[in-house]
Amino acid sequence: MWIVRPARHEDLAGIEKLATGHGARVSTLPQSRDKLSEKIDHSIRSLAGDPSLADRQRFLFVLEDSDTGTIHGTAGIDARAGNGQPFYNYRRDELIHASHELDVSKTAAVLYPTHELTGKTLLCSFTIDASLRKTEAFELLSRARLLFIDRHREQFSDMLVVEIQGMQTEEGNAPFWDSLGRHFFHMDFATADYYSGVKSKTFIAELMPPHPIYVTLLSEAAQNAIGEPHDAAARTCQLLEREGFRTGKHIDIFDGGPVLEATTDALNTITSRRYKTVRRGEGSRGLRYIVANGDSEGFRCALTNVSDGLGDVVRVNNEVADALQVVEGDDLVLVAL
Amino acid sequence: MLLIRPLSQGDLDDLHGMTEKAGKGLTSLPPNRDLLSRKIARSEATFQEKCEPEAGFYMFALEDSAQKKCVGVSGIEARVGLDEVWYNYRLSTTVNASRELGVHVKTPTLHLTNDMTDTSEICSLLLADTHRQGGNGLLLSRARFLFMADFRQLFSEKVFAEMRGESDSEGRSPLWDALGRRFFDMDFSEADFLSGMGNKSFIAELMPKYPIYLPLLPESAREVVGQVHENTRPALKMLQAEGFNFNGLVDIFDAGPVVEAFIHNIRAVRESFKRHVLVSRQPVNMDVPPEERVMISNRSFRDFRVTTIPASCIKPDTVSIPAEVAEALQVSSGDLVRLSPLKDAAGTRKPARS
């Protein structure tokens, strides 16, 4: 059975395997064992309500095959994008250059360096085994976070943002980076990507161009990459759009990938979820649902068939109830798959 | 004899003929009779003191007295940017550094500025092909500094010149193609023409206002920033010898450099001195090479005149000139004139840097 639960120190090896896996990277997991370990630790302390982490909570969840105990995916939430430091993006905008006398009017696309998304809640660190990309486990892993946010709503902002991996060539170069960032950072995309995972974001503030960028001065390939997701992120985008995420005006400063944004309380998962009381039983009938318990540190989320009636009680089969660590009479939240 | 005097409407035909031959690249003097006539009228009004000193526009004619013909012009704009908006790019450096990563990056950046506003500009220099020898170009250009020396209060402390930037034989500018054109669907030659017709600030309104990072431009454009057109190199060398230096600003269309100097530091001004005229009946051999000649100005505002005479005419207390020179300058014995070497006295001028 697939379970989504908070990451633990024992998961380090499994997570590391995912972070350093081959193929296009569609995650913001750092490629460093120390940094991963720190990230897990930060998540554990955030879940425990460590007061020193107020407004800097970062959560990391894993997708576990409860039959084998192996890790097949990760998904994270940064309660406040930037985690106390500025969170950088470019904002796409347009300027009209017009002259009445010469009867000319032309639109110039401009990228403004900005950190106005700092402090929004960021969904991040999403990684999943390539073989699971088309399964319901993918949806479970992604949406489990939203149920967690709902349960602990006061810890998160009214707006959610997600950075989607941008376009890359087969060799792993990013056309947007090559035309813009490379001139200012003096490093290739892979190096910058690596640093952004393992270093503090100070280097971005230090090296990124301070003035707005005229899009027309970038290479054609770079212009085409602006706001375009990587092919490998297509499923993620679909799922997020179904939730109510939309492409906003912001793009990633490294690869030009889009930043999707949504109003937290308007998310499909959050508006359609229902809280019920558990009644344990045998067998399972009904439609596919994502179900989660109400805990923080003991947060568990799984998939099961449920007959959701009008009442306040929902019958959950014993195996799933065990996996969620709920007993008769506990709270449960459920949302249709 | 070659004589500098204020340009007048009677010179219009000669001037129009010269501008037609000059072709593209001479932005400030397009071959357009109406426009040229308006410029002459402005200059005449200035010499007749019919306008405020700040609005002054002085145009000088180089007259070949044998041919009774205007064979060159040069001008001074008393102040730029007071009526219209005067734009330049400032070539500056943006540094981004990260100690942690050991990265230190210098990015040349163009900032749009109005820094030359309220400054005097020397401009509109044009010399007929037939007269490009014997120091005529020097006389035409440097006579302006003698005018400034005597009427310094009419000009700003600093004076500048915009040098024509690089363009190919078809008049295409690499900087315009990489930058201006992307914001304004127009060929450089057309933009340049409109700019000469007085529409420069309209065009500038369509140009990018935010700084331009040069590494985002192609190499062909980057390498012409601050470079002069081949045909303008002699003029640049002349101004450099005069004490003008690149001030870090470039033209917004073709990235040609702006050079500037304080008036009191300009060589023609610094090396100039005054003498009383003594009109002499003794014959003078006027036919001496440029190195042995000096410019002589009558110091008149309304009828400013300059010509050249042999340096040997200068005596300890006076300058002794033949009657025909006195007549051309409209001076008589006892008048105070200003003198300055046309070239470096003993031809010892240091080779100009290339």
Banded pLDDT at B38 (limits 50, 70, 90): very high
Inter-chain contact B210–A185, Cβ cutoff 8 Å? Answer: no
Cβ-Cβ pairs closer than 8 A, A with B, add up to: 95
H or E segment to which residue B81 belongs: none
Q: Would residue B229 show up in a list of annotated catalytic residues for this protein?
A: yes
Q: What is the pLDDT of residue B184?
A: 79
CA distance A199 to A35: 9
Interface of B with A in 21-80 (CB under 8 A): none
The overall average pLDDT reported for chain B is 91
Task: List, in order, residues 6 or more apart from A253 with CB less than 8 Å away.
Answer: A88, A89, A90, A113, A181, A204, A208
**Per-residue confidence (pLDDT) for residue B349, from 0 to 100:** 39
Residues B61 and B7 sit within 8 Å (Cβ to Cβ) = yes
Q: Which residue has the tokens 């195996």?
A: A319
Contact B96 A208 (CB under 8 A): yes
Say if residue B26's pLDDT is above 70. no
Please tell me the predicted confidence (pLDDT) of residue B345: 53
- Picking from B96, B107, B175 by the largest number of A CB atoms within 10 A of its own CB, the best residue to mutate is B96
Distance (Å, rounded) from C-alpha A237 to C-alpha A241?
6
* Burial (Cβ within 10 Å: 0-12, 13-18, ≥19) of residue B246: middle
Could you report the average pLDDT of every consecutive run of 10 residues in chain A (337 residues)? Answer: 95 89 60 89 94 92 95 95 91 89 85 96 92 92 95 95 93 93 93 84 88 96 96 90 96 95 96 92 84 86 85 88 91 91
Question: Which of B183, B194, B213 lies nearest to residue A209, judging by beta carbons?
Answer: B213
Of the residues A42, A72, A152, A230, which is catalytic? A230
| Binary contact (B208, A214; C-beta < 8 A) | yes
Q: Is the pLDDT of residue B309 over 70?
A: yes
So what's the pLDDT on residue B23? 67
Q: Token pair of A60, please?
A: 């990391």
φ/ψ bin of A198: left (φ > 0), alpha (ψ from -120 to 50), beta (otherwise): alpha
pLDDT score of A24: 45
- Chain B CB contacts of A210 below 8 Å: 94, 96
Nearest Cβ partner for A217 among B97, B101, B216:
B216
* Model pLDDT, residue B340: 96
pLDDT for position A25: 55
> Which residues of chain A approach chain B closer than 8 Å at the C-beta?
97-99, 101-102, 104, 106, 108, 110, 179-180, 183-187, 195, 199, 202-203, 206-214, 216-218
pLDDT digits (tens, 9 = 90+) for A230-247: 988 888 999 999 999 999
pLDDT, position B348: 37
Q: Do A207 and B206 touch (CB under 8 A)?
A: no
Checking DSSP bridges between strand B158-162 and strand A274-281, what pairing results, if any? unpaired
What is the average per-residue pLDDT within B216-238?
A: 94
The pLDDT, as a whole number, for residue B128 is: 93
Catalytic residue, from B16, B229, B264, B276: name it.
B229
- Spatial separation of the C-alpha atoms in residues A251 and B344, rounded to whole Å: 62
Say how far apart CA B179 and CA B252 lie, in whole Å. Answer: 9
Partner-chain residue, chosen from A99, A208, A213, that has the shortest CB–CB distance to B205:
A99
Of A199, A210, A213, the CB nearest to B100: A199
Residue B353 — pLDDT band, cuts 50, 70, 90? very low
Confidence category of residue B200, pLDDT binned at 50, 70, 90: low
Mean of all residue pLDDT scores within chain A: 91
The pLDDT score that the predictor gives to residue A164 is 94
> What tokens were used for A98?
């017009």
Please, where are the H alpha helices in chain B? 12-22, 33-47, 136-150, 174-175, 181-183, 188-194, 200-205, 219-222, 233-242, 267-270, 323-329
Name the range with the highest mean pLDDT among A28-42, A216-230, B16-30, B173-187: A216-230
What percent helix, strand, coil does chain A show, rounded to 5?
Answer: 35, 30, 35
Judged by CB atoms closer than 8 Å, whether chains meet at B105 and A207 is answered as: yes
